[in-house]
Amino acid sequence: MSASQEKVGIDMVEKLDSEKGTVNGLPAPIAPEDFGFTPEEERKIIRHVDRRLVLTVGAMYCISLMDRTNLGAANIAGMGKDLLLTGNRYNIISLVFFITYVVFQPPSTIVVRKIGPRIHMALITALWGCCMIGMAFVKKWDQMAGLRILLGVLEAGFFPSCVYLLSTWYTRFEVGKRNSVFYLVGSVASAFAGILAFGIMQLAGKGGLNGWRWIFIIEGLLTVALGVAGYWLLVDFPDSKRGNWSFLGPREREWICARVQADRGDVATQPFTWSKYFRAGLDFKIWVYAMIFFNVTTVSYALAYFLPIILVSNLGFDVGASQCLVAPPYAFAGIIIYATGWFGDRYRTRGPVIVFNSMLCLIGLPIMGFHSNPAVRYFGVFLTTAGANANVPAAMSYQANNIRGQWKRAFCSATFVSFGGIGGIAGSLVFRTQDIPHYKPGIYACIATSLLNVILVGCMTLYFRSLNGKADRGEKELECDADDNYEPGFRYTY
């Protein structure tokens, strides 16, 4: 953008501010049509945000998923033998990551607001890439566990920051498809990490290092490179005055803020206080959203950590085939992820999407666990992988649509993803070595969490319908507890 264009944008914003006034030092609600953009110009702005924001965080999330879930590939590539991962040692290495991952998440949404996504998210990405490289040179299993603890500290700030950042740029019925694309880019690309890992394994012996060590080195270097690139490619919050590299001007960002304000009335960030931040925890709905995400991630992480192992021990494939056969179920999951995200936005519905995905798991898990034919069990893997992974962006959109207020949104993003981390702990434990080859307790646990999501969403649907009815009759104003300057008219999405 040229200096003259920037000046015009600033003048436009100042003119609108002088006409409309300000709220908490930020521009007061301005109707989107006041900016005079044509429909084609509006679509162009949104497409620009999509390309820059969604694809960047999606690519970085891809690396995040690869780095936290490549243990399964490394384990069957020789790590288990070299580090003597007998008994429950592999489960412990998988689990300890999530302890710090959960503990360090709540402060992350405060930090990202204060210093901005470009510094916060780019820095921690580059640092955990260095941590990954270090994993290639451990000699003992407890050293690997220690680095996994550090990896949890560094990755803790990334996903909740992504969830929070995406929710501030889009209206309630745009965010579903964007969450789906964000997670689709991450999960489908990381699905091919098995094929990448199989290729990297062929470096075994180079430099005197086993193949699994090269997996950590190559993927760690990719992470560091993407972290550095993220400093320029990531964008700040739409209402922030911090600069972005070659992105929207003030007028376009102000229009984004006006759209969000008109949609849900919470674009203005209230002054931060700990009491305001933690007061959001008194709303039981936040904990229901978090529990839904716990149920989802228990299944998705169990698959991420153990699917290569299950393909070897349960379905009878060799190591090379198992590394490659991880990819097709995740590719199929990508189709379901996008289709359900589009459906949710198009028909303004969230709960039925979660129920549909949970039903895929409830059908796929028994097939995957109990059918006598390995080919049919592999078909069950497709259904389970699709349902579990499609429910990650579905649950993100469900909670994003049903909260209001910036600090409540920040608290909800942190608790939501923290419970997802606890689901990761559960997922790392449900498939135990002593249950080989059928893993019946793990299958039962995943069935139980999927069924619980159907029940929780059903109960919340009835509750939301009741509250919306009261609001329609003028008996109650919804989601006004966390925002002193709320806009009336909020309704829950179910």
Residue 143 belongs to domain with CATH number: 1.20.1250.20
Asked if the structure places residue 488 within a domain, the reply is no
Instruction: Round to whole Å and give the CA distance between 416 and 444.
Output: 24
Dihedral sign from CA coordinates of 466, 472, 474, 480: positive
Task: Quote the pLDDT of residue 6.
Answer: 40
CA–chain centroid gap for 73, Å, is: 22
Domain count, the chain: 1
- Tokens 């260095």 belong to 130
Using alpha carbons, select from 452, 459, 337, 331 the residue that is nearest to residue 394.
Answer: 337
Give the Cα-Cα-Cα angle 187, 189, 191 (nearest 5 degrees): 65
Asked if the structure places residue 217 within a domain, the reply is yes
Asked if the structure places residue 371 within a domain, the reply is yes
Asked if the structure places residue 427 within a domain, the reply is yes
What is the number of H-type helices and E-type strands within the chain? 22, 2
Asked if the structure places residue 478 within a domain, the reply is no
Give me the tens of pLDDT residue by residue for the chain, a chain 494 residues long.
444 444 444 444 444 444 444 444 444 457 888 888 899 999 999 999 999 999 899 888 888 877 766 777 788 788 888 999 888 888 888 888 888 988 888 788 788 888 999 999 999 999 999 999 999 999 999 999 999 999 999 988 888 888 889 888 998 888 888 988 888 876 766 567 767 777 888 888 888 888 889 989 998 999 999 999 999 999 999 888 888 888 888 889 989 988 988 887 767 666 777 777 788 888 999 999 999 999 999 998 888 767 777 777 667 777 677 767 877 888 899 899 999 999 999 998 999 999 999 999 999 999 988 888 888 888 998 999 999 999 999 999 999 889 887 788 888 888 898 898 888 888 878 877 666 667 788 889 999 999 999 999 999 999 999 999 999 998 888 887 655 556 678 889 98
In our burial notation (b when 16+ CB lie closer than 10 A, e otherwise), range 308-341 reads bbbbbbbbebebeebbbbbbebbebbbebbbebb
Task: Quote the pLDDT of residue 144.
Answer: 93
Helix (H/G/I), strand (E/B), else coil: 444 = helix
DSSP assignment of 64-112 equals HHHHHHTHHHHIIIIIHHHTT--TTHHHHHHHHHHHHHHHTSTTHHHHH
Q: Could you tell me the residue range of the domain that residue 164 belongs to?
A: 48-238+280-472
Query: Tokens standing for 342?
Result: 């589009």
Asked if the structure places residue 16 within a domain, the reply is no
Query: Tokens standing for 261?
Result: 């304000």
Asked if the structure places residue 301 within a domain, the reply is yes
Task: Quote the pLDDT of residue 110.
Answer: 83
* Amino acid making up residue 200: I
Measured in degrees and rounded to the nearest 5, phi and psi for residue 318 equal -80, 175
- Tokens 């090379």 belong to 320
CB atoms within 10 A of CB 115: 12
